[in-house]
A and B are shown apart, each in its own frame.
Chain A
Amino acid sequence: MNKYSLTHKIFMYLAILVFMIFILLPFIEMFYASLRPLDHLFRSPYQFFSDDLSFWAYGEMWNTVPKLGRYIFNSFFLASCVAIITLLFVIPAAYSYARFYFPAKNVSLYLLLAVNMFSGAVLLIPLYKLLRTLGLLNTYLAMIVPGVAFLIPTSIWLLKSYFEKIPIDLEEAAYVDGASRLQILRHIIAPLSTPGLVVVGIYAFIGAYAQQFLFAITFNSKKEYMPIPAGLYEFIGYQTVKWNEMMAASLVGIAPVLIVFLFLQKYIVEGLTAGGVKN
């Protein structure tokens, strides 16, 4: 029943082609622009083809924006910190939600979901004042502290569902046999939940990488702490915008996420899907 006629197939592939062009066009165009010399990019009338494509921009961009390497490191560093701190908060909470019954459990779980509805943008004013009072403006922490808060809710939901999959009988058996809670945590829960922890960690990393821009432009003005999404704007503001180098740097900037994604795409799609519609 799943056989398609030839015309059907052609029609569907054409539709997929259009769909994929829409999705990938910005990336293709970024890549193509990064290979062309600047004066080819600024040719009028418009030309599709350049004869001397090269990776020149990928070398030159480090000179145009000297701190580029630092920005990429910052992005990676910030996202890793946010992911690790998020996990530290989320692991105990998710375990508690998965295993114990207590008053206000469901209400608090749905309140957590409600946190997802607010973007950081709404809370920026008090956060700005708070960070200023604490003296954290223009530090790494200014971007880490708010970042963690917005990743905790979904991470708890995600990890909770992983913990729930570990049979409770295992724990009970160990407990009856005289194991302490700590021993159970170390020898039963930790090894069995590793895949779940990896998924949640990746989710938090990608989420943290994606949300850097807003916090960076609002809470940080120091170049040495700037993450790449904000740092890329340095290519603008010179006399001409060095588009080819900016596009090259953009692609290098998104490479970490794309590489993580390609290797672990199955788990990530699973994790991301679990993040939106909960049962």
Chain B
Amino acid sequence: MIKKTKLQAYNSPKLLAYALIAPAAIYILCIVAWPLIETIRLSFTNSSLAGEDYVGFQNYEKMLSSSKYNKIIVRTFIWMFFSVTFKIIIGLIGAVLLNANLWGRSAFRVLVIPPWIVPIAIGCLGWLWLYNGYFGILAGVGMRTGILDGPYGFLAYKNSAFISTIITDVWVGTPLVTVFFLAAMQGIPKDLYEAAYCDGASKWDRFFKITLPQITPVIITIALLSAIWTFNSFEVIYILTEGGPRGATTTLIIDTYKMALGNYKFGRGAARAVIVVILLTIFSAFYMTVLLKINKKVSHE
């Protein structure tokens, strides 16, 4: 009896529990939560390096009534849609290939990781050279094979810059997606496949009737997570095009950054940041709901 109460005291000391969490919690409150609230406050001011005055909803009115800003919102979502879609499709194909029982697969599984762990800012320098219109290998191959009739700066034209930045962002995000899908595929019970094999199901059948349904929860969570990260993607565009040419690759994050720290218009930048936060919150709420639902379903099974 004494042992039991003693153990209970050992296992649920509330004060100690909070004390251990406090440093991390206070840190997050200072560096993430407070700045978030401060951003909201600043968005109602005309804050700059010179000082600040309260201006009400002026920043928002200006921003939301400008057709340029509305275009940026639409562009961000188009950019995000294509980037996430390709990450998911290529990641799925990659995972199937790396899951196949082929010679050398453990080496391939290692080789797929680098774009993920290498600083994006450095990886993008490689792409900057690849996209070079005169001397990059893409333009080089294009000219040699006759696809291009002359030098072609991939980042110099609106549409090709838009597509090029998407390709690089897909490159950054694909390894993560592949590895997660691969892990999910390895978790599928083997007997499902054996049963299907005995029933004479083809490889395609096995993929579409077993693999795909089994990993759908992971596909959904990763798609949402990937959407959030893609939405936040900053370095790829900033390094390759700085949002150009003529704004063709300016997304919400780039626009926010340039307004706030390119022009030091903190107030107007903060209003843009608030819009980003609102959109991110909607995504995150969606993500959390899905995650909780899936976890519940898994634990019920």
Contacts and interface: CB of A to CB of B under 8 A. Distances in A.
Contacts of A168: 11
A254 B126 CA distance: 12
**Interface size bracket, B side:** 35 or more
A46 interface: yes
Given A99-B11, A276-B180, A19 B97 contact: yes
A97 interface: yes
B18 A277 contact: no
Contact of A24 (B11, B114, B116, B143): B114
B176 A44 contact: no
A105 B17 CA distance: 10
A153 B291 CA distance: 17
Contact of A90 (B24, B135, B144, B222): B24
Interface in B101-142: 101-102, 108-123, 125-127, 129-130, 134-137, 139-140
Interface string B214-250: 0000100110010010001011000000000000000
Interface of B: 3, 6-7, 10-14, 16-18, 20-21, 23-25, 27-28, 31-32, 34-36, 38-39, 42, 90, 93-94, 97-98, 100-102, 108-123, 125-127, 129-130, 134-137, 139-140, 143-144, 151, 171, 174-176, 179-180, 183, 193-194, 197, 218, 221-222, 225, 228, 232, 234-235, 253, 256-257, 260-261, 266, 269-270, 273, 276-277, 280-281, 283-284, 287-288, 291, 295, 298
Interface of A: 1-2, 4, 9, 12-13, 15-16, 19-20, 22-27, 29-30, 33, 41-48, 88-90, 92-93, 95-97, 99-102, 108, 110, 112-115, 117-119, 121-130, 145-146, 148-150, 152-153, 156, 168, 171-172, 175-176, 181, 206, 209-214, 218, 228-230, 232, 243, 246-247, 250, 253-254, 257-258, 261-262, 265, 268-269, 272-273, 276-279
5 contacts: A19-B90, A92-B21, A118-B280, A213-B121, A258-B114
